[in-house]
Amino acid sequence: MKKSRYSIFSLAGNAVSAHRHWDVAWRSPPPAPEYDVVIVGGGGHGLATAYYLAREYDVGRIAVLEKGWIGGGNTGRNTTIVRSNYLWDEAAHLYEKSLQLWEGLSQELNYNVMFSQRGVLNLGHTLQDMRDIVRRSSANRLNGIDSEVLSPADIKALVPAINISAEARYPVLGASFQPRGGVARHDAVAWGFARAADRHGVDIIENCEVTGIRREGDRVTGADTSRGFIRAAKVAVVAAGHSSVIADMAGLRMPLESHPLQALVSEPLKPVLDTVVMSNAVHGYVSQSDKGELVIGAGIDAYNGYGQRGSFSIIEGNVAAIVELFPVFSRVRMLRQWGGIVDVCPDACPIISKTPVKGLYFNCGWGTGGFKATPGSGWVFAHTVANDAPHPLNAPFALERFTSGALIDEHGAAGVAH
């Protein structure tokens, strides 16, 4: 009888075997000279694309090329907030599809991505903030998305540690609340999709940097990499902050700016916060991880750059905002700080699109908010690559919107100051 990889016996065996003889989570094959589809970027979006492509469509051999390690980009650097409370129908439908996929993802991948629907609050601090919140919340409900408008007293009942004093520099006047929003374990998402894609025959190739995109006339023919040329009829680029660098290799110009976005975590605390709190106005958001760390994030660093660090002044302002909202955190020590590089579009919405080069596709521009979209993004991009045509959910997010003018302005719902 074939030994089950995931039986209770194998789990018990692994527990007593001092972590030896475990099955590898995914293979590490050398790159083949040719694939039918090459996906550039082994973050959550690239891996989800590979998984849904291999599971849903008969497209032949697929490889994911990652210059570093799986999930080492923004996927492993973000603050893991998941929600679907976007203003415009196009964005709301896309993010809500993703949220619905999150709700079954651990079962789907047979991998615990620790999706925790603890609710997400978006605070308002001015009359105009509150008008925007009421409008967005109504729009959400019209789209069947759960959303409530809370008063300061409601917020205090939900988050006892928060400061709702009218004396605060930016007093809390209310919030939108999405109960189905929450957080997930970011690296588990990458590992879960990687393992599931591998089981469907996808080659995941780490330490393989794409250094050039080759084309013959208006058709893509493959990618030059640090491990040699790889021929492919279709190349799907999902490289987040480095998308415009790769577009440049293909002779394309993307309407993107790359910025650092920072986050930090504190020493572990006893449970004190079981809801996600975000404030666009004061540039801060905070949740508490299952390990007890406060996970805190900031607005983007305003300059362009590729250094995964960010500047101290942003962190200083960020921590000041969090302490004003939560004076009880003022003596908590911070353990680690880091930055990721986010690819920001003029309308704060993604590009999920064919390009003028036949067989070359881009999925990028998620900016500060793509983690929540990981499964939905992979779902629609797989459709786009397999059919050479967008899924109805991502049709509005094509490159053409920057020439037609049909922008989808989601700066207000981005939740993070751009």
Q: Which residues in this chain contact ligand PYC in the complex, by CB under 6 A? A: 79, 81, 83, 278, 285, 297, 368-369, 415-416
What residue type is 153 in one-letter code? A
At closest approach, how far in Å is the CB of 416 from ligand PYC? 5
12 contact partners, CB below 8 Å, separation of at least 6: none
At closest approach, how far in Å is the CB of 31 from ligand PYC? 33
Q: What is the phi-psi region of residue 299: left when phi exceeds 0, alpha when psi lies from -120 to 50, beta otherwise? A: beta
Residue 31: contacted member of ligand PYC, ligand FAD, none (CB under 5 to 8 Å, by partner type): none
Residue 293: contacted member of ligand PYC, ligand FAD, none (CB under 5 to 8 Å, by partner type): none
3-state secondary structure of 387: helix
Q: Do the Cβ atoms of 47 and 194 come closer than 8 Å?
A: yes
346 contact partners, CB below 8 Å, separation of at least 6: 255, 402, 407
Residue 213: contacted member of ligand FAD, ligand PYC, none (CB under 5 to 8 Å, by partner type): none
Q: Closer to ligand PYC at the Cβ: 44 or 359?
A: 44
Q: Closer to ligand FAD at the Cβ: 322 or 342?
A: 342
> DSSP letters along 6-51, please?
T-HHHHHHHHHTTT-SPPPSS--PPPPSEEEEEEE--SHHHHHHHH
At closest approach, how far in Å is the CB of 297 from ligand PYC? 5
Distance CA 242, CA 257 (A): 10
Q: Closer to ligand PYC at the Cβ: 170 or 229?
A: 170
**Given the DSSP bridges, would you call strands 334-344 and 257-268 parallel, antiparallel or unpaired?**
antiparallel
At closest approach, how far in Å is the CB of 351 from ligand FAD? 11
Q: Closer to ligand FAD at the Cβ: 152 or 192?
A: 192
375 contact partners, CB below 8 Å, separation of at least 6: 48, 98, 101, 102, 105
At closest approach, how far in Å is the CB of 81 from ligand PYC? 4
Q: Closer to ligand PYC at the Cβ: 83 or 391?
A: 83
At closest approach, how far in Å is the CB of 415 from ligand PYC? 4
Q: Closer to ligand PYC at the Cβ: 204 or 263?
A: 263
Binding residues for ligand FAD, rule: CB under 6 A, are 40-46, 65-68, 72-75, 77-81, 209-210, 238-240, 242, 246, 261-263, 297, 340, 342, 366, 368-372
Any idea how long the chain is? 418
Helix (H) or strand (E) holding 176: strand 174-178
3-state secondary structure of 366: strand
Q: Closer to ligand FAD at the Cβ: 266 or 368?
A: 368
Residue 98: contacted member of ligand PYC, ligand FAD, none (CB under 5 to 8 Å, by partner type): none
At closest approach, how far in Å is the CB of 214 from ligand PYC? 35
Residue 155: contacted member of ligand FAD, ligand PYC, none (CB under 5 to 8 Å, by partner type): none
Task: Give the closest residue to 379 by CA, choosing from 145, 73, 101, 103.
Answer: 101
Q: Six-digit token pair at 375?
A: 């499964």
